[in-house]
Chain A
Amino acid sequence: MSKYYLLQDPDRCIGCLGCEVSCKTNKGLGPGPSLCKNMLVGPVKVEEMPRARFVFMPCFHCEEPWCLKVCPSGAVKKRDTDGIVYIEAASCIGCKSCITACPWGACQWNPQINKAVKCDYCKDRLDSGLKPACVTKCVTQCLDFGDASKIPDYRRERFARTMEPVAVRPMGY
């Protein structure tokens, strides 16, 4: 897996789909390919209340990416430095093997150039010290990106706070 996390806090997500459009405009994509998808589950009835979940699906940047294994032209690559799996458009021959292989639907078809395209965590932005497009513009900051060894504790804190509505912090602080 890559060394990053891209977390979605479903409690903060409002399903505005800003992430999907932000991603597309950054990659210059038109209708068709969606490198990330925010899936709406529900609303379903939970104790008589409408409750919805939003499931954000970018690429997982697998440790052993099937898309990479099946690529006949070596266009699918994995960065040594951080494990980002990406497609080098110049080498892609448009055979769609990666699209067939990926169990998550992460590899997409770009009809503008007849090549495959996928999420690369906006590595060009990362390399300039920025965050991925979807995270940068997220309306409610429900998307968060960073080093996986430094994942924030907000979910544990939020759970702990359900016990008492007072300041919550890890022990020892």
Chain B
Amino acid sequence: MKLKEAPNVIGVETRGRRTVFSLCGMCAVRCPIQVEVDDGRIIWLQGNPNDKAMGSSLCAKGSAGVAFEYDDERPQYPLIRTGARGAGHWRRAGWDEALDYVANGLKDVMRQYGGKGIVLSDRGGPFGDLTKSFVKALASPNYFDHDCTCGRNAHHATRSLFGVGRTGLAYDIKNTKHIVLYGRNIIEALQVKEAKEFIEALNKGAKCTYIDPRGSLTATKAGRFWQIRPSTDYALNLAMINLVLRQDLYDKEFVSQWVIGLDELRAFVADKTPEWQEQYTGISAADVRSFVREISQDAPHVIFHAGWMTARYNQSFYTSRTAHILNALFGAIEAPGGLIFSKGAGDAGKKGLKKLSDRIPEVTDERVDGCGWKYPHFDGGSGLLHLLFSAINSGKPCPIAAYIAYRHDPLTAMPDPDAVKQALDKLKLLVSIDVNYSETGWYSDVILPESSYLERANILAEKSGPKPSLHMRDQAVVPRFDSRPAWWIFCELAKRLDIGQYFDFESIEEIWNYQLEGTGVTVAQMRDKGVFSLVDKPILWDRTSGLKFKTPSGKIEFRSSILEEAGLPSFAEFVPPKGFAGDEFRLLFGRAAVHTHGQTMNNPLLNELLPENPVWIHPDRAAELGIEDGDPVEVSNQGYSVFSRAKVTPWIHPEAVFMLHGFGRTVPLQTRAYARGVADQRLQKGLLTTYDPAGGGNTLCECSVRVSPAGKNRSTTL
């Protein structure tokens, strides 16, 4: 054990009572938190009240951070594989040995294929400067995030219209008068501040229209719920646009000043009437008419939420894009209660954090996934991970031989993990850096255990938004095991790979001081509050002259130059989905408020609240198949089958079955979660390589499964 060598922040070992302001790490939202420590032990976690929008609130996952910290069922020291991949045979290694092992493997790959033979994927977020810099310093263009199975369609849709990415526009939910949600399940796919604002807005009389094949808990809060037929939201949006234009309900002043392509849009939707959409969506034309009339009266304080987790259908990109077209038509851009441009430090007249990547030469090689060059309409910043696996298989356009998965679990996140494994088997080196035993970690050659979010500090984060701010994740306690913070792991690897000059830091305080150079903000100030707002009030640009659309035309591009240059239509014809009958269903998935993707199923307290995921099935379809509520059922697709239990409920569309994502864990060391519930991604056979051609997102809900009753005595199995 080399615990003493763990690079702790100064003062973390002080005895007695301490208050530490930090950022939660139980999900990727990273809420500001206040940590109370007594003699080196976490005794209380709550929201950081220095962030007024947060207050002292914390969700179940956030509070369960204490249970996570004091759980032994996480990687405790570096592990090097001794058996076949995935066999679960490991030996314990010291950090020097494990880092040398990884560095030597990477060097071999670099000698043979150059830096571009190395790939790293993580889950994005505000600390990305560290991993992106590491990949850049290796002269590899191949940094990936997880977003092809998340918000990429919404990201590219936003970019095609406004020239900024998905988070370039913030939803001003707190002040909205009417919010339209297409399956954006605000109170279960939970972000504390967003949920607070949503409930606050409803309490003040805001309306909510919720559109989803499933009646989620968010639907129970909405004034209008349309249980839409899956994969038809795009038809609904086209009909709404048709009404808005035909009835002259749009903001003419705003549109004439900022929009190009209105005439083409008008011509395109001319025949997409409310009656036309009804045959596909199941939503009555009269309902659509009354909705459009109603929401137009609240413009511009309205939100058509373009979605977040939109890696669902073949046309999810166009669903997001038309939601944003409706926002633009109603003039809900840079309007209170609508959408507000995210501002950075520069917009606040301040200097932002200095980037680690600034000192590193630009990479000249092209991305292996073709994003940004072969596919000019796909953002080359973080690429599309699903395109990596076919590139690994084919060796084209260049061979990939090493993969570092940093707090990312492709075998849980990506569809069809067997197909992912086939590609991973071709790698010479697969490394997992994580705080959890992930499915990918278990399949890796080396597991480098990262210290928990309470045991480590991160590089500082700059968050853009109407009020740009700086955030600090500080270290609250010393690591319980032989783990290390990510910044140290990457600095140590860099030193071994002869790129140490870009990572010449001995402590996190040195990195913080580097980042804060010229900002006028000190480490002490960051520590004092945990969050540092760069402005007092939200920055609002002038709607008549001050909007900065970063599209080629500087306008909102209904007619998109990015799309048309890529040979894609600005306005695509709606493709009706096939029907599902008999024992065949479309498989949908979603989230619960007490779990984070596949990360928390083994948490002692969260596992207790929700240990399994039954299969939702509509009563009419269940009756046809002789399935009653609670019955064991078999769900299968292309030779893979699982046993689960039926939850018979009218709140799932008859064409679909639904299950929560993240269950069916296979790492035996996670004793609570092991073999509990079923994994939707394993049923998504053949979907690794299918994606929305315009948005790049995976089509995880273009999945059909067969459902049958399984003998009454059958217990739920993996």
Residues of A within 8 A of B (CB): 11-12, 14-18, 20-22, 24-26, 30-32, 42-43, 45, 49-52, 136-142, 158, 161, 165
Is B380 in the interface zone, CB < 8 Å from A? Answer: no
Q: Which A residues are CB-close (under 8 A) to B64?
A: 21, 25
Q: Which of B187-205 contact A (CB under 8 A)?
A: 187, 190, 192, 195-196, 199-200, 202-203, 205
Q: Which B residues are CB-close (under 8 A) to A30?
A: 67, 604-605
Q: Which B residues are CB-close (under 8 A) to A136?
A: 46, 56
For B45, B195, B215, the residue with the greatest tally of chain A CB atoms inside 10 Å of its CB is: B215
> 8 nearest interchain CB pairs?
A50-B215, A14-B187, A52-B220, A31-B608, A21-B63, A16-B593, A21-B60, A140-B199
**B600-618 contact mask (Cβ, 8 Å, vs A): 1 or 0:** 0000111111000000000
Can you give 9 contacting A-B residue pairs, CB < 8 Å?
A14-B190, A17-B593, A18-B63, A21-B64, A21-B594, A24-B605, A31-B608, A43-B651, A49-B219
B217 near A31: Cβ-Cβ < 8 Å: no
B605 near A137: Cβ-Cβ < 8 Å: no
Q: Which B residues are CB-close (under 8 A) to A14?
A: 187, 190, 195, 199, 217, 221, 593
Is B514 in the interface zone, CB < 8 Å from A? Answer: no
With A15-B187, A139-B59 known as contacts, the answer to whether A20 contacts B609 (CB < 8 A) is yes
B650 near A45: Cβ-Cβ < 8 Å: yes
CA distance A16 to B199 in the complex (A): 13
With A18-B59, A31-B604 known as contacts, the answer to whether A139 contacts B196 (CB < 8 A) is yes
* Shortest CB distance B46–A (Å): 5
B57 near A25: Cβ-Cβ < 8 Å: no
Q: Which A residues are CB-close (under 8 A) to B609?
A: 17, 20-21
Q: B196 is contacted by which of A22, A24, A43, A140 (Cβ under 8 Å)? A: A140
A43 near B215: Cβ-Cβ < 8 Å: yes
Q: Which B residues are CB-close (under 8 A) to A138?
A: 57
Q: Which A residues are CB-close (under 8 A) to B651?
A: 43, 50
CA distance A45 to B225 in the complex (A): 12
Q: Which A residues are CB-close (under 8 A) to B199?
A: 12, 14, 140, 142
Residues of B within 8 A of A (CB): 44-47, 55-64, 66-67, 187, 190, 192, 195-196, 199-200, 202-203, 205, 215, 217, 219-222, 225, 593-594, 604-609, 650-651
A14-B187, A20-B60 known, 13 other contacts, Cβ within 8 Å: A12-B199, A14-B593, A16-B59, A17-B594, A18-B58, A21-B64, A24-B605, A25-B45, A30-B605, A50-B219, A137-B47, A141-B57, A161-B205
* Shortest CB distance B352–A (Å): 30
Q: Which A residues are CB-close (under 8 A) to B222?
A: 49
* Shortest CB distance A165–B (Å): 6
A139 near B192: Cβ-Cβ < 8 Å: yes
CA distance A143 to B222 in the complex (A): 21
Q: Which B residues are CB-close (under 8 A) to A42?
A: 220
Q: Which B residues are CB-close (under 8 A) to A49?
A: 219-220, 222, 225
Q: Which B residues are CB-close (under 8 A) to A45?
A: 650
Q: Which A residues are CB-close (under 8 A) to B608?
A: 31-32
Q: Which B residues are CB-close (under 8 A) to A137?
A: 46-47, 56-58, 62-63
CA distance A43 to B647 in the complex (A): 13
Q: Which A residues are CB-close (under 8 A) to B62?
A: 18, 137
Q: Which A residues are CB-close (under 8 A) to B594?
A: 16-17, 21
B221 near A21: Cβ-Cβ < 8 Å: no
CA distance A52 to B202 in the complex (A): 16
For A12, A20, A22, A51, the residue with the greatest tally of chain B CB atoms inside 10 Å of its CB is: A22
Q: A31 is contacted by which of B45, B63, B66, B605 (Cβ under 8 Å)? A: B605
Closest to A9 in B: B203
A25 near B67: Cβ-Cβ < 8 Å: yes
Q: B607 is contacted by which of A12, A22, A31 (Cβ under 8 Å)? A: A31
